[in-house]
């Protein structure tokens, strides 16, 4: 993670995810499609949600951040279900209907934009100032090279 603080590293992941979805949509609009690239971006997003729900949120979910964390977890559920919808479309004939893929990707992008407007200024500063040193180190290590356990789903994935 170099000398980057935790909040900057988490925001960088947001930017990479947004860029992946944007690149998929650009290619789709140009008449192509890279389903593997979208699947990779969705895997990165799922891993990002895992690190937040398992490593970042628990130690900061008390006191001043309690309601914001609750809102983020609810938002993760909606984002997760939208990713599941994309998985189903991609699994369809010919890797899915392009119009449906575009619509669901645009919906996912909008959900992420709304989510990140709160998460980045409210939650992420606590990663730099509100974590005990050992938990900050664990989060930094995971950002650098951690893997989400197979089969893990976010807390609010089910409706």
Round to whole Å and give the CA distance between 120 and 126.
Answer: 10
- Provide the pLDDT for residue 95: 63
Q: What is the Cβ-side half-sphere exposure of residue 43, based on CA atoms within 13 angstroms?
A: 12
Architecture of domain 6-145: Up-down Bundle (1.20)
**Separation of alpha carbons 126 and 129, rounded Å:** 5
Distance CA(140)–CA(9), nearest Å, equals 9
pLDDT tens digits, one per residue of 117-149: 999 999 999 999 989 999 999 999 999 999 999
- DSSP 8-state secondary structure symbol assigned to residue 148: P
Cα gap 74→155, rounded to integer Å: 8
pLDDT of residue 93: 78
Domain extent listing, the chain: 6-145
Answer for the pair 111, 79: CB distance below 8 angstroms, yes or no.
yes
Residues of the chain with confidence (pLDDT) below 70: 1-3, 94-96
Question: How far is 69 from 118, CA to CA, in rounded Å?
Answer: 10
| pLDDT confidence of residue 159 | 73
């Amino acid at each position: 993670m170099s000398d980057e603080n935790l909040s900057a590293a988490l925001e960088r992941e947001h930017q990479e995810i947004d860029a992946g979805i944007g690149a998929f949509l650009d290619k789709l609009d140009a008449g192509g499609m890279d389903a593997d690239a979208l699947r990779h971006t969705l895997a990165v997003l799922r891993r990002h949600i895992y690190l937040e729900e398992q490593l970042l949120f628990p130690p900061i979910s008390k006191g001043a951040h309690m309601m914001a964390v609750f809102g983020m977890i609810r938002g993760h559920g909606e984002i997760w279900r939208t990713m599941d919808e994309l998985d189903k479309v991609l699994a369809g004939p010919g890797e899915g209907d392009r119009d449906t893929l575009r619509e669901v990707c645009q919906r996912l992008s909008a959900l992420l934009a709304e989510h990140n407007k709160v998460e980045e200024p409210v939650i992420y500063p606590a990663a730099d100032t509100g974590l005990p040193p050992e938990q900050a180190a664990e989060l930094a290590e995971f950002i650098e090279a951690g893997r989400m356990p197979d089969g893990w789903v976010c807390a609010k994935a089910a409706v």
